[in-house]
Structure formats: C-alpha cells, structure tokens
C-alpha cells in the first residue's frame, strides 16, 4: 500500500490527474468513483485538455440508478464537465444507463464491461479503479450493512443505499480486487476518522478495509485534512 499526502484537495487531485495521464499515454480502462470528491479532479482534467485522456475508456465503480440528468448521477457530473465540453469523446464513456427495471441496468452495464474491459480469472481487470470512502466506511456502493455484496462472485451487484433506499449498481470486491491498480482519493477533515479505522485499525466491518488488489497495486491519495493528526 502506497500513501501520497498532499497539502490540499487541489494538489491531491493534481497528483491523481498525473496518475491518469500516465495511463492515458498508453491507453487503458478506468473505473471512476462517484460522489463529490472527483468533481475537482474532473475540473482539473478539463483544464488540462483532451489529449491526455483520449486513449482512456471511462467506466464507473458504482452508479446511482437515476436518470443522467439527475444531480445524483455520477455519470451526469462527468458528462457535464468533460463530455459536453468536448474534452472526452462520448464513445470512450461507458455509463450505466437508467432503466426502471434494475435487471436491465445490470445487463447493459455488464455487457459494456464484458465487451470493453480485458478479463482475467473470469473477472474484468480494470487498469485503474478510483475509489472514495464514505464516512461509514463504504466504498463504491458496498455498504457496511451489505458486506456480502463485496464478496459476491459476480463483478456487479444491484444494491440499496442503507439510509435512502436509493438503488445503485456497484462493482463488487471481486472485481475491485482484480484490478491492476486501485487508487483511493480521499480529501477533507470529515474523512480523517474513518480513514484511521480503515488504514490503521483495518476494521473488518468496513468495506473499504477489504480492498486489497490480489495481483495489483493499492494507492491512497489523501490531503492533510483527511490525514488529520494521524501519523501514518
């Protein structure tokens, strides 16, 4: 596990953009995290222009099962920042489309991954999976109340947010831990407690604790606020 600590969220996202650009130089598949943290990364990617990202294929580690126009949509955020602006071509973006029938969402997403992500050991092997950590220790959309979904033999599961009941599709731990590289991007003081529980205490009740790429590299990109007064 490799830890990179930067002064603030902007510098942390700059470093993550550099990681993406290294992969972009040769091309590859990236599963993005959702939520609010990556929004700054997307802005930086837009500032840096199209060339760095043109060989990358973008997927999501998880998606809320809502229309793309919804402010809740992880794809929607990326689309508004990077596709609508012409920075990332639409043909390189593989979102989970919205259907009222979640079985259709699962089928469509699985087919896109099947066709566009190289596989090993019967599972997709993303070149890079970007993850965040929720304050409850969830990652992607694997929540503490449904740790079983982390260990599913399948690459994708449809789950529910424990509080809102919102339906989501998520990569499972089987797919996450099959990646060549997993990169946690966490910023802000609100994450310092849960990061201590995941990184230092390795609390087994927390899904993020179980992210351990079998044949890949695990990296953490944190800002000083997320580190807090912990001496990693």
Footprint on this chain of ligand 6PG (rule: CB under 6 A): 33-37, 61-62, 74, 132, 134, 138-141
Q: Phi/psi class of residue 27: alpha, beta or left (left: φ > 0; alpha: ψ in -120 to 50)?
A: left
**Residue 25 CB, nearest approach to ligand 6PG (Å):** 26
- Decide: residue 15, CB within 10 A, 0-12 exposed, 13-18 middle, 19+ buried: middle
CB neighbourhood size of 26 (10 A)? 9
To 10 degrees, the CA torsion angle through 57, 125, 36, 225? -120
**What are phi and psi for residue 62, nearest 5 degrees?**
-160, 160
- What DSSP state is assigned to residue 33? P
**Residue 222 CB, nearest approach to ligand 6PG (Å):** 13
**Residue 143 CB, nearest approach to ligand 6PG (Å):** 9
**Helices 9-26 and 38-48, axial angle in degrees (round to 10):** 60
Q: Which residue sits closest to ligand 6PG, CB atoms considered?
A: 132
Q: Which is nearer to ligand 6PG, 95 or 139 (CB)?
A: 139
- Decide: residue 155, CB within 10 A, 0-12 exposed, 13-18 middle, 19+ buried: buried
**Residue 115 CB, nearest approach to ligand 6PG (Å):** 23
Q: Would strands 167-171 and 156-160 be described as parallel, antiparallel, or unpaired?
A: antiparallel
With H, G, I as helix, E, B as strand and everything else as coil, classify residue 214: coil
Q: Which is nearer to ligand 6PG, 9 or 87 (CB)?
A: 9
**Residue 81 CB, nearest approach to ligand 6PG (Å):** 15
**Residue 232 CB, nearest approach to ligand 6PG (Å):** 19
Q: Which is nearer to ligand 6PG, 61 or 213 (CB)?
A: 61
């Amino acid at each position: 596990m490799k830890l990179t600590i930067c002064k603030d969220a902007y510098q942390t996202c700059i470093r993550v953009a550099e990681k993406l650009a290294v992969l972009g130089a040769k091309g590859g598949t990236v599963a993005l995290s959702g939520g609010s943290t990556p929004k700054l990364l997307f802005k930086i990617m837009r500032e840096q222009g199209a060339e760095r990202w043109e060989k990358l294929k973008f997927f999501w580690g998880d998606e809320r099962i809502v229309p793309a126009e919804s402010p809740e949509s992880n794809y929607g955020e990326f689309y508004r920042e990077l596709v609508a602006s012409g920075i990332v071509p639409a043909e390189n973006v593989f979102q989970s489309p919205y259907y009222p029938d979640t079985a259709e969402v699962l089928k469509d997403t699985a087919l896109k991954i099947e066709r566009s992500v190289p596989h090993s050991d019967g599972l997709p092997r993303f070149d890079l999976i970007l993850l965040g950590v929720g304050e409850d220790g969830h990652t992607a959309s694997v929540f503490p109340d449904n740790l079983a979904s982390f260990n599913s033999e399948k690459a994708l599961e449809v789950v529910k947010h424990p509080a809102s009941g919102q339906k989501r599709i998520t990569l499972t731990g089987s797919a996450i831990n099959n990646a060549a590289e997993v990169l946690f991007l966490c910023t802000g003081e609100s994450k310092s407690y849960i990061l201590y529980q995941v990184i230092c205490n390795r609390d087994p009740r927390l899904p993020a604790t179980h992210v351990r790429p079998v044949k890949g590299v695990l990296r953490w990109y944190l800002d000083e606020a997320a580190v807090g007064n912990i001496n990693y």
